Amino acid sequence: MPRPPHLRTARLNSGSPRRRTVLKAGGTLLLSVFTALPARAAQILAVRVWPAADYTRVTLENDGALKTNHFMVSDPPRLVVDIDGLALNDTLKSLVAKIESNDPYIKQVRVGQNRPNVVRLVFDLKEKVTPQVFTLAPVAGYQHRLIFDLYPVNAVDPIAAMIESGNWSTPDAASTPTAPVQPGMPAAGQVAPDAVAKMEAQIAQGTAPLQTPGAAPATPRPQSPAGGAASKVTRMITIALDPGHGGEDPGAIGASGAREKDIVLEIAKRLKTKLEGLPNMRVMLTRDGDYFVPLGTRVEKARKVQADLFVSIHADAFIQPSARGSSVFVLSEKGASSTAARWLANDQNKADMIGGVNLGNHDKQLASVLFDLSTTAQINDSLKLGKAVLTEIGGINRLHKGAVEQAGFAVLKAPDIPSILVETAFISNPDEEAKLKDNGYQDQLADAITKGVRRYFAANPPMAKGRLT
């Protein structure tokens, strides 16, 4: 059926040059409106501050990647950070109130809108610091994170810290004329030394073999003259305790909300007290508060104090809440001893990603291990230590495995220190989580590990060694 003339005319006019011009102008106007709209600014979701003697960390968690520029200002010392593409919100403003008066390095922080889409943070410092500013991609339960790590210009020396706390004999103290400590005789106010102290005294006097049982007998060292240094000071045993996780890395979390990082720190502190109650023993904690220590740094700290043993303490979780029992692990140079051990090692080795390590400044050599003769000997000694500790823990809790297991735990890779990782219990098991939160059970665990350490040294007297230079 033919269309009416007026409809045919309207159809022809829709494609006229004038019509096209009007449509084009309208489209250009619409495009200019959308172009003029500013890009959405990133939003800060959470702010956290982790003060510690080692360093202070400030974390800004946000919903997108951020670009920053930072510089130091002296007299008085300040760190200035400009963050691009960020909107100032109440969460970011709350950072001001999160700086505590006892923070070792930050006096206060000021937050403001420096210019459109740029927020400026000014950290007023208590002393000069070496800042590290870096970003972390989303991982685990975290979104994007912007990290400020403020390190002292002169890094904290773990040996100096032990000397300050009275847990290390200085060379001057060793050479000061004092009443000699006779082998096997207690000092005033002390209980009689146990087998460990007697062996230490014998080693200091040169009257005891330095090999472990079953080895060829050693040639006794000559007796020191009366009043010599060897007759005054016995060889101290240094133990490094490593409470896992900390700071940005909470570790495993139980059904009731208990966090692994809190539980293991409490157990480590109890264990430190008990070990230091033994003659000739001193203890260094790789962390003594709620802050993150990279895996390689934990090993480095133990080596700096020439630790005789390294004990890492954990309370991990498994995919099934029915998993239960305590375990002891040592390093493996040939692969994990079981599928569960491999899964656990892989899970623990993610700590650096979750806790947050500046990869641009990370010593990758610490993350690997050079398997040589010293590492093989370390693993053999670690197995002996692990068996002694596992035997004692078996007296207070069910064992997940009846033997020491092996896997590639990064934190056990000091080639010259016998090292074990103790899984105190599964925090993912509701019954064991309740135990781990109980002060009495924590005390029992500390007692059991202490007895295991004593058992190990009773069968494996420590070798004589020189002072760090």
pLDDT of 42 higher than 70: yes
Question: Would you place residue 44 in the very low, low, confident or very high pLDDT band (cuts 50, 70, 90)?
Answer: very high
Which residue would you say has higher pLDDT here, 269 or 369?
Answer: 269
What is the pLDDT averaged over residues 180-184? 33
Ordered by start, the domain boundaries in the chain are: 5-36, 44-152, 237-459
Which residue would you say has higher pLDDT here, 34 or 386?
Answer: 386
Report the pLDDT value the prediction gives residue 220, as an integer from 0 to 100. Answer: 37
Give the C-alpha separation, 290 to 319, whole Å: 26
Close Cβ partners of 291 (under 8 Å, ≥ 6 residues apart): 50, 51, 52, 54, 55, 57, 246, 247
pLDDT of 282 higher than 50: yes
Which residue would you say has higher pLDDT here, 322 or 231?
Answer: 322
pLDDT in tens, 433-459: 999 999 999 999 999 999 999 999 999
What is the pLDDT averaged over residues 2-29? 49
pLDDT of 281 higher than 80: yes
Report the pLDDT value the prediction gives residue 204, as an integer from 0 to 100. Answer: 43
Which residue would you say has higher pLDDT here, 269 or 166?
Answer: 269
Report the pLDDT value the prediction gives residue 47, as an integer from 0 to 100. Answer: 97
Give the C-alpha separation, 288 to 162, whole Å: 13
Which residue would you say has higher pLDDT here, 198 or 75?
Answer: 75
pLDDT in tens, 370-408: 445 567 889 999 999 999 999 999 999 999 989 999 988
Listed residue (167, 190, 155, 345) closest to 239, CA to CA: 167
Question: Would you place residue 126 in the very low, low, confident or very high pLDDT band (cuts 50, 70, 90)?
Answer: very high
pLDDT of 201 higher than 50: no
Report the pLDDT value the prediction gives residue 34, as an integer from 0 to 100. Answer: 42
pLDDT of 114 higher than 60: yes
- The domain defined by 237-459 folds into Aminopeptidase (3.40.630)
As given in the structure block, the two tokens for residue 62 are 């946000």
**Which overall architecture, per CATH, does domain 44-152 show?**
Sandwich (2.60)
What is the pLDDT averaged over residues 73-82? 96
Which residue would you say has higher pLDDT here, 134 or 87?
Answer: 134
Close Cβ partners of 200 (under 8 Å, ≥ 6 residues apart): 234, 235, 236, 237, 279, 280, 461, 462
Give the C-alpha separation, 207 to 301, whole Å: 32
Instruction: Report percent pLDDT > 70 for the chain.
Output: 71
pLDDT of 364 higher than 60: no
Report the pLDDT value the prediction gives residue 168, as an integer from 0 to 100. Answer: 62
What is the residue-averaged pLDDT of the chain?
79
Question: Would you place residue 334 in the very low, low, confident or very high pLDDT band (cuts 50, 70, 90)?
Answer: confident
Task: Give the lowest-confidence range in 106-115, 201-210, 216-225, 254-263.
Answer: 216-225
Place of tokens 């293991």: 264
Report the pLDDT value the prediction gives residue 21, as an integer from 0 to 100. Answer: 52
Task: Give the lowest-confidence range in 63-72, 195-204, 407-416.
Answer: 195-204
What is the pLDDT averaged over residues 211-232? 36
Listed residue (242, 253, 331) closest to 293, CA to CA: 242
